[in-house]
Structure 1
Amino acid sequence: MLFHVYILYSPTKGRYYIGHTGDDLNERLRRHNSNHKGFTGKTGDWTMIYNEPYSSKHLAYQREREIKAWKSRKRIEALINSEHSDS
């Protein structure tokens, strides 16, 4: 089973969301775009713009925390635009 760190973008919010999952990425995106109480639940226009696969949940979680710790939109956008991007 592969785990993924992913970055979503919402044009409505003009914001990124960083997460990790062991689920199918398309199903995870569908759940983010469903109407729920969380941060991603109200806009419904999230698109998956980046992902990185990992062999373990622990590694994916570590990478998610690393990216979130950057607290830098420019650094996140540089990652998205890197050669590893799936967009």
Structure 2
Amino acid sequence: MDSFFVYIIYSPLTDRLYIGQTQNLQERLAQHNTGYFKNAHTHSASDWEFYHTIACQSRKQAVRIESHIKKAKKRKYLHDLKKYPEMSQKLKEKYES
């Protein structure tokens, strides 16, 4: 079974957070830091670092969790995800494949 991840990265330079999903965390972080995604708002900085990650059972689950988090549109929600691990677990249970 392949692993997928929902990730939240943070740029100290821009004080921005970005949410995405991938199968390879290290490769994806390198892509964000080298400007690989020309039209993404991550292109504006090269100091992205992992803020929080959630390991998922499938790509379907990762996409659903990513969508859920993006719809929340609140920075506090992202901080709470990091602070309270049980929130990530509940999301995984809610969106089990």
- Post-superposition Cα deviations, 1:33-64, rounded to whole Å, max 9, x if no partner, equal 01242211231000011111111111000000
For residue 83 of structure 1, what is the aligned residue in structure 2? 85
Structure with larger Rg: 2
Runs of 5+ in structure 1 lacking a partner? none
> What is the root-mean-square deviation in Å for CA atoms of aligned residues?
1.5
Q: Under a length normalisation based on structure 2, what TM-score does the superposition of the two structures give?
A: 0.79
The runs of at least 4 aligned residues of structure 1 exceeding 6 Å deviation read none
Aligned length: 84
Q: Distance in 1 between matches of 2:3 and 2:30?
A: 19
Superposed, which structure 2 residues align to 1:11-22 within 5 Å?
A: 11-22=12-23
For residue 26 of structure 1, what is the aligned residue in structure 2? 26
Runs of 5+ in structure 2 lacking a partner? 89-97
1:29 is paired with a residue of what secondary structure?
helix
For residue 92 of structure 2, what is the aligned residue in structure 1? none
For residue 59 of structure 2, what is the aligned residue in structure 1? 57
- Give percent identity, aligned residues only: 38
Q: Under a length normalisation based on structure 1, what TM-score does the superposition of the two structures give?
A: 0.88
Q: Distance in 1 between matches of 2:16 and 2:35?
A: 18
Higher helix share: 2
